[in-house]
Structure 1
Amino acid sequence: MCGIVGAVAQRNVVPILLEGLRRLEYRGYDSAGLVIIDGGLKRARSVGRVAALAETCAAQALSGHLGIAHTRWATHGAPSEANAHPHVSGRFAVVHNGIIENHEALRAELRAAGYVFESETDTEVIAHLVDLHYRQSKDLLAATRAAVARLEGAYAIGVVSEDAPNHLVCARKGSPLLIGLGIEENFIASDVSALLPVTQRVMYLEEGDVADVGLLSVAVYDAAGNKADRSVHVSELSADMAELGTYRHFMQKEIHEQPRALTDTLLVAVSQEHVQPEWFGFDAAEVLEKVDGVTFLACGTSYHAAKVATYWLEEIAGIPAHAEIASEYRYRTSVPNPDALIVTISQSGETADTLAALNHAKSLGQDKTLTICNVPESALTRASRLKFLTRAGPEIGVASTKAFTTQLAGLFLLTLVLAKLRGRLSAAQEAEHLAALRSLPNKLQQVLALEPAVEAWSQRFANKTHALFLGRGVHYPIALEGALKLKEISYIHAEAYPAGELKHGPLALVDEDMPVITIAPNDQLIEKLKSNMQEVRARGGELYVFADGDVHIEESPFVHVIRLPGGGNGALSPILHTVPLQMLSYHAALQKGTDVDKPRNLAKSVTVE
Structure 2
Amino acid sequence: MCGIVGAIAKHDIVPVLLEGLSKLEYRGYDSAGLVVANGSLARLRTTARVAELGKLVDAQKTQGLAGIAHTRWATHGAPCERNAHPHLSGDERKIAVVHNGIIENHEAIRQRLQAEGFEFFSDTDTEVIAHLISCHLRTTHDLLEAVCLSIAELRGAYAIAVVEESRPEHIVVARNGAPLLLGLGADGNYVASDASALVQVTRRMIYLEEGDVAELYRDNYRIFNCLENPLGKEVSRVVQESNLTRDAVELGPYAHFMQKEIFEQPIAVANTLEMVLNAHSITPQLFGSEAEEVFRQTRGILILACGTSYHAGLVAKYWLEAMAGLPCSVEIASEYRYRMPIADPNTLVVGISQSGETADTLAAINYAKSLGHQYSLAICNVPESALIRQTNLRFLTRAGPEIGVASTKAFTTQLASLMLLTITLAKLRHKFTDEVEQKMIAALRHLPTAIKLALQIEPQVMAWAGHFFQKRHALFLGRGVHYPIALEGALKLKEISYIHAEAYAAGELKHGPLALVDNEMPVIAIAPNDALLEKLKSNLQEVRARGGELYVFADADSHIQESEGVHIIRLAEHAGMLSPILHTIPLQLLAYHVALQKGTDVDKPRNLAKAVTVE
TM range (shorter): over 0.9
Structure 1 counterpart of 2:509, from 487, 502, 525:
502
Whole-angstrom distance in 1 between the partners of 2:432 and 2:362: 33
Alignment match, 2:122: 119
Q: How many residues align?
A: 608
Structure 1 counterpart of 2:590, from 576, 584, 596:
584
Matching of residue 64 in structure 1 with residue 64 in structure 2: yes
AA at the equivalent of 2:158: Y
Residue deviations 1:437-489, cap 9 Å, x none? 00000010011010000100110002101111000000000000000000111
Does the 8 A contact of 2:550 with 2:567 survive in 1? yes
Whole-angstrom distance in 2 between the partners of 1:367 and 1:215: 44
Which deviates more from structure 2 when the two are superposed, residues 223-232 or residues 281-290? 223-232
Whole-angstrom distance in 2 between the partners of 1:589 and 1:313: 35
3-state DSSP class of the match of 1:82? helix
3-state DSSP class of the match of 2:323? helix
Does the 8 A contact of 1:416 with 1:425 survive in 2? no
Matching of residue 601 in structure 1 with residue 607 in structure 2: yes
AA at the equivalent of 2:585: V
AA at the equivalent of 1:195: L
Alignment match, 2:51: 51
Whole-angstrom distance in 2 between the partners of 1:251 and 1:557: 33
Matching of residue 541 in structure 1 with residue 548 in structure 2: yes
Which deviates more from structure 2 when the two are superposed, residues 31-40 or residues 212-221? 212-221
Runs of at least 4 residues of structure 1 off by over 4 A?
Answer: none
Matching of residue 137 in structure 1 with residue 144 in structure 2: no
3-state DSSP class of the match of 1:259? helix
Alignment match, 1:28: 28
3-state DSSP class of the match of 1:494? strand
AA at the equivalent of 2:517: V
Matching of residue 348 in structure 1 with residue 355 in structure 2: yes
Residue deviations 1:1-44, cap 9 Å, x none? 21000001001000000000000111232000001010111110
Structure 1 counterpart of 2:536, from 529, 535, 560:
529
Alignment match, 1:192: 195
Deviation (angstroms), 1:333: 1.4
Alignment match, 1:359: 366
**TM-score under structure 1 normalisation?**
0.99
Alignment match, 1:149: 152
Matching of residue 3 in structure 1 with residue 6 in structure 2: no
Whole-angstrom distance in 1 between the partners of 2:421 and 2:48: 43
Structure 2 counterpart of 1:100, from 103, 127, 142:
103
Deviation (angstroms), 1:401: 0.2
Alignment match, 1:398: 405
Does the 8 A contact of 1:266 with 1:409 survive in 2? yes
Whole-angstrom distance in 1 between the partners of 2:304 and 2:474: 28
Alignment match, 1:272: 279
Residue deviations 1:143-180, cap 9 Å, x none? 11011111011100001102222211110111111111
Does the 8 A contact of 2:27 with 2:72 survive in 1? no
AA at the equivalent of 2:358: T
Whole-angstrom distance in 2 between the partners of 1:133 and 1:219: 21
**TM-score under structure 2 normalisation?**
0.98
AA at the equivalent of 2:85: H
Deviation (angstroms), 1:593: 1.2
Deviation (angstroms), 1:551: 0.8
Whole-angstrom distance in 2 between the partners of 1:262 and 1:28: 27
Deviation (angstroms), 1:322: 1.1
Does the 8 A contact of 1:92 with 1:161 survive in 2? yes
Deviation (angstroms), 1:557: 2.5
Does the 8 A contact of 1:293 with 1:320 survive in 2? yes
AA at the equivalent of 1:118: F
Unaligned runs of 5+ in 2: none
Matching of residue 173 in structure 1 with residue 180 in structure 2: no
Structure 1 counterpart of 2:525, from 518, 523, 526:
518
Deviation (angstroms), 1:568: 1.4
Alignment match, 2:163: 160
Alignment match, 2:294: 287
AA at the equivalent of 1:381: I
Structure 1 counterpart of 2:472, from 465, 481, 487:
465
Whole-angstrom distance in 1 between the partners of 2:378 and 2:125: 31
Whole-angstrom distance in 2 between the partners of 1:458 and 1:246: 22
Whole-angstrom distance in 1 between the partners of 2:219 and 2:179: 23
Deviation (angstroms), 1:81: 0.9
Whole-angstrom distance in 2 between the partners of 1:123 and 1:503: 50
3-state DSSP class of the match of 1:315? helix
Whole-angstrom distance in 2 between the partners of 1:35 and 1:16: 13
AA at the equivalent of 2:64: G
Whole-angstrom distance in 2 between the partners of 1:463 and 1:220: 55
Alignment match, 2:213: 210
AA at the equivalent of 2:470: N
Instruction: Give the RMSD, CA atoms, in angstroms.
Output: 0.8
Deviation (angstroms), 1:371: 0.5
Structure 1 counterpart of 2:262, from 255, 261, 267:
255
Structure 1 residues 304-315: aligned runs within 5 Å: 304-315=311-322
Alignment match, 1:322: 329
Whole-angstrom distance in 1 between the partners of 2:593 and 2:318: 30
Residue deviations 1:406-457, cap 9 Å, x none? 0000000000111111111310111000000000000100110100001001
Deviation (angstroms), 1:272: 1.1
